[in-house]
A and B are shown apart, each in its own frame.
Chain A
Amino acid sequence: MNYDVAVIGAGVIGSLIARELSRYDVSVALVEKCNDMAMATSKANSAIVHAGFDAKPGSMKAKMNVEGTALMPALCKDLSVPFKPVGSLVVAFSDEEMVTLHELLERGKGNGVPGLEIYDVEKLREEEPFISEEAKGALWAPSAGIVCPYELTIAAVENAVVNGTEFIRNFEVNKIDFADGIFTLSNGESEINAKYVVNAAGVFCDEIAALIGDDSICTMPRKGEYMLCDKSIGHLANHTIFQCPSKMGKGILVTPTVDGNLLIGPSALDIEDKTDVTTTAGTLADVLTAAKRSVPCLTTREVITSFAGLRAHCTRDDFIIEPSEKNAQFINVAGIESPGLSSAPAIGLYVKDMLIKELGAAEKADFKSEREEPVRFRHMSNEERKAIIAKNPAYGRIICRCETITEGEILDAIHAPAGARDVDGVKRRTRAGMGRCQGGFCGSKVVELLARELGVEINEITKCGGNSKILYDRTK
Chain B
Amino acid sequence: MLNYDIVVIGGGPAGMAAALKAKECGVDSILILERAETLGGILEQCIHTGFGLHYFGEELSGPEYADRFISLVDEQKIEYKTDTMALEITENNVVYAVNKTDGLLEIQSKAVILAMGCRERPRGALNIAGSRASGVMSAGTAQKYVNIDGYMPGKKVVILGSGDIGLIMARRMTLEGAEVKVVCELMPYSSGLTRNIVQCLDDFNIPLRLSCTVIGIHGKDRVEGVTIANVDENRRPIPGTEEYIECDTLLLSVGLIPENELTRAVGIELDPVTSGAVVDENRETSHNGVFACGNVLHVHDLVDYVTLESQTAGEGAARYVLGGNNEPEYITTKGVNGVRYIVPQKVNIKNDGDVKLYFRVGQVYKNAKTVVKYNGEEIISKKRPRLAPGEMESVIIKNDMLKGFAEGGIIEISVEE
Contacts and interface: CB of A to CB of B under 8 A. Distances in A.
Direct contact of A and B (CB under 8 A): yes
A386 B141 contact: no
Nearest to B86: A398
B222 A467 contact: yes
B271 interface: no
Contact of A470 (B144, B153, B155): B153
Interface stretch (B126-134, B199-207, B378-386, B400-408): B126-134
A307 interface: yes
B396 interface: no
A469 B222 contact: yes
Given A436-B122, A441-B119, A444-B145, A476 B134 contact: no
Contact of B176 (A307, A437, A444, A475): A475
A210 B102 CA distance: 60
Interface stretch (A160-168, A179-187, A279-287, A327-335): A279-287
A275 B220 contact: yes
Contact of A458 (B104, B124, B151): B151
A369 B150 CA distance: 46
A227 B123 CA distance: 13
A144 B254 CA distance: 40
B107 to A, nearest CB: 13
Nearest to B218: A278
B153 A281 contact: no
Contact of A304 (B99, B103, B120, B125): B125
Nearest to A406: B98
B35 A401 contact: yes
Nearest to B139: A440
A7 B221 CA distance: 25
B13 interface: no
A313 interface: no
B132 A438 contact: no
Given A394-B100, A444-B141, A470-B134, A464 B221 contact: yes
Contact of B221 (A440, A443, A467): A467
B141 A471 contact: no
B151 A443 contact: no
A463 interface: yes
A212 interface: no
B345 to A, nearest CB: 22
A246 interface: no
A115 to B, nearest CB: 37
Interface in B243-279: 257, 259, 261
Given A278-B131, A397-B83, A444-B145, A437 B120 contact: yes
B160 to A, nearest CB: 14
B242 to A, nearest CB: 11
Nearest to B88: A382
B261 A402 contact: yes
B85 interface: yes
Contact of A278 (B102, B106, B130, B141): B130
A393 interface: yes
A396 B153 contact: no
Contacts of A382: 96, 104, 106
Contacts of A438: 122-124
A389 interface: yes
A390 B98 CA distance: 12
Contact of B103 (A306, A386, A470): A386
Interface in A267-315: 275, 277-281, 284, 300, 303-307
A468 interface: yes
B410 interface: no
B261 to A, nearest CB: 7
Interface in A224-257: 227-228
Contacts of B222: 467-469
Given A393-B101, A437-B119, A471-B145, A459 B125 contact: no
A80 interface: no
B103 A390 contact: yes
Interface in B340-360: none
Contact of A277 (B85, B102, B131): B131
Contacts of A390: 103
Interface in A379-401: 382, 385-386, 389-390, 393-394, 396-398, 401
B140 interface: yes
A305 B124 contact: yes
B146 interface: yes
Contacts of A459: 151
A95 interface: no
A407 B217 CA distance: 31
A357 interface: no
B169 interface: no
A360 interface: no
A34 to B, nearest CB: 11
Contacts of A398: 35, 85, 87, 98
A284 B129 contact: yes
Contact of A472 (B131, B152, B217, B261): B152
Given A277-B132, A389-B103, A468-B222, A440 B154 contact: no
B228 interface: no
Interface string B217-232: 1101110000000000
A462 B222 CA distance: 10
Contacts of A465: 221
B129 A471 contact: no
A471 B152 contact: yes
A281 B134 contact: no
A436 B257 CA distance: 10
A463 B151 contact: no
Nearest to A442: B141
Contacts of B146: 475
Interface centre among A275, A280, A440, A444 (most CB of B within 10 A): A440
Contacts of A468: 133-134, 221-222
B151 A440 contact: no
Interface string A446-476: 0000000000001100111111111111111
B154 A307 contact: no
Given A306-B124, A444-B141, A472 B119 contact: no
Contact of B100 (A393, A401, A440): A393
B152 A305 contact: no
A132 interface: no
B137 interface: yes
B138 interface: yes
Contact of B129 (A278, A386, A401, A444): A278
Given A304-B125, A440-B119, A441-B119, A396 B155 contact: no
Given A440-B120, A475-B152, 14 more contacts: A278-B218, A281-B216, A300-B127, A303-B124, A307-B132, A389-B98, A440-B137, A440-B140, A466-B220, A467-B221, A468-B134, A470-B135, A471-B145, A475-B151
Interface of A: 227-228, 275, 277-281, 284, 300, 303-307, 382, 385-386, 389-390, 393-394, 396-398, 401-402, 404, 436-441, 443-444, 458-459, 462-476
19 contacts: A278-B218, A280-B129, A281-B237, A284-B129, A303-B124, A303-B125, A382-B104, A382-B106, A389-B100, A398-B98, A402-B261, A404-B87, A439-B122, A441-B141, A443-B141, A469-B134, A470-B134, A475-B150, A475-B176
Interchain residue pairs A-B with the least CB separation, the first 4:
A305-B124, A463-B134, A438-B122, A467-B221
